[in-house]
């Protein structure tokens, strides 16, 4: 079992290596949530997530013989980069097994930190089993992503930093996947400030910790589905599950839609690029899953390594929800002047056209007509309503897409 002494030792080890990430109060999110909302920005940590803390602490405490042989791990993202960077800093060879379909950006980033990357298996579980086999065959030290004493202690240093900068914190919200992050933070905070509430947040499509806590034992999930790939874990570890039961007050879930909405708000209002897993704590606060009126609440923003294609989708969806982007599909006679009429309507109402597509081939469009889909920027919902009214007055058949 990990104890507070392990966290203190990890704090000593990590102090000259990791960034002391900012703890910032957000006026915007405080007003939205009706509390004093603070963000612990581990998304600004070296390698873009908290994972470096646990990985470095684990490798640092290996024996000299183990360091000479090298370390190995399995990961599809942040843990891979944390292990690779930590090993390089300590002069240790590292091998990272990643699934074949891991995002190329994460594969390249892991290699850039100095690891040998082996692509094997269609899923993380298959890559994990392959890495375990090689660790046993070659006597390599395996660095687990969460179910490890030194890894948990390393993540616990975040709790110490929160207490040192905001000792009056009343609630701390922490993303939950395998449980390593929340185990370390809760252990540290409950020792330093026993009255603080530590609450975990999982994605609704990957709620292995919630299900396990409900049953009182680890319950593996047969399938998981969420955009929050950083916490898409089928089951917690035995170590982390025991720590969560002992130190964590409760665990709640949020939907992918709530996560995406929060990612957009972080980008638009706080100018922060955050990955889905990193935003779940704040999502629970902003979307009403949790409420702490006038209390001091810290959301741990655990990482910022978001897939750029997903980020583009989040931005577009967010703009549409906030009436800054609209898309209209119009079925009209296939004549040259029709498009000119439609564009003049949009221009007259000061809508900025981003893209236009024509579809004459689909069977849902009558012969002699065309389906024109236009995406355009708007100022607000009133402007969209004005465009709708103008199209109706012109007698055009249209559908405002959402």
- Which positions are annotated as active-site residues? 51, 302
For residue 13, give the 3-state DSSP assignment: helix
Give the C-alpha separation, 374 to 351, whole Å: 11
Q: Are 151 and 157 in contact (CB under 8 A)?
A: no
Cα–Cα distances in Å, from 188 out to 4, 7, 81? 6, 7, 25
| Burial class (CB within 10 angstroms; exposed 0-12, middle 13-18, buried 19+) of 375 | middle
The secondary structure element, H or E, covering residue 56 is helix 51-60
Distance of CA 148 to the CA centre of its chain: 22
Give the C-alpha separation, 327 to 302, whole Å: 34
Cα–Cα distances in Å, from 191 out to 187, 198, 199, 281, 301? 6, 12, 16, 22, 22
User: Is the Cα dihedral 296, 154, 217, 194 positive or negative?
Assistant: negative
For residue 49, give the 3-state DSSP assignment: strand
One-character DSSP codes across 15-42: TTTS----EEE-HHHHHHHTSEEEEEEG
For residue 223, give the 3-state DSSP assignment: coil
The C-alpha angle with vertex 303 and arms to 286 and 273, in degrees rounded to 5, equals 70
DSSP state letter for 290:
S
Give the C-alpha separation, 286 to 299, whole Å: 11
User: Is the Cα dihedral 159, 162, 165, 169 positive or negative?
Assistant: negative
């Amino acid at each position: 079992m990990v104890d507070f002494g392990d966290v203190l030792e990890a704090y000593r080890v990590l102090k000259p290596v990791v960034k002391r990430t900012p703890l910032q109060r957000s006026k915007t999110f405080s007003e939205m949530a009706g509390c004093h909302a603070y963000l612990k920005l581990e998304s600004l940590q070296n390698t873009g997530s908290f994972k470096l803390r646990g990985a470095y602490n684990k490798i640092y405490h290996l024996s000299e013989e183990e360091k000479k042989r090298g370390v190995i791990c399995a990961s599809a993202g942040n843990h891979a980069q944390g292990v690779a960077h930590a090993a390089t800093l300590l002069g240790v060879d590292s091998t990272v097994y990643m699934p074949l379909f891991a995002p190329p950006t994460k594969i390249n980033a892991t290699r850039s930190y100095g690891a040998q990357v082996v692509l094997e298996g269609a899923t993380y579980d298959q890559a994990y089993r392959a890495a375990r086999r090689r660790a046993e065959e070659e006597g390599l030290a395996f660095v687990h992503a969460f179910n490890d004493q030194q890894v948990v202690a390393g993540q616990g240093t975040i709790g110490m930093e929160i207490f040192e900068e905001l000792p009056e914190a009343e609630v701390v919200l922490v993303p939950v996947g395998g449980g390593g992050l929340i185990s370390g933070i809760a252990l540290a905070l409950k020792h330093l400030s026993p009255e603080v509430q530590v609450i975990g947040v999982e994605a609704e499509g990957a709620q292995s910790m919630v299900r396990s806590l409900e049953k009182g034992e680890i319950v593996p999930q047969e399938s998981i589905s969420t955009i929050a790939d950083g916490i898409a874990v089928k089951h917690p570890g035995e170590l982390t599950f025991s720590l969560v039961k002992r130190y964590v007050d409760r665990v709640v879930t949020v939907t992918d839609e709530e996560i995406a909405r929060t990612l957009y708000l972080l980008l638009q209002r706080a100018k922060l690029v955050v990955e889905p897993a990193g935003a779940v704590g704040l999502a629970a606060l902003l979307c009403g899953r949790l409420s702490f009126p006038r209390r001091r609440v810290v959301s741990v923003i655990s990482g910022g390594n978001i897939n750029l294609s997903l980020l583009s989708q989040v931005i577009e969806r967010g703009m549409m929800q906030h009436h800054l982007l609209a898309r209209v599909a119009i079925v009209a006679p296939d004549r040259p002047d029709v498009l000119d009429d439609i564009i003049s309507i949009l221009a007259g109402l000061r809508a900025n056209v981003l893209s236009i597509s024509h579809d004459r081939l689909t069977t849902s469009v009558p012969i002699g007509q065309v389906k024109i889909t236009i995406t355009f920027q708007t100022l607000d919902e009133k402007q969209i309503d004005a465009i709708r009214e103008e199209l109706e007055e012109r007698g055009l058949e249209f559908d405002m897409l959402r």
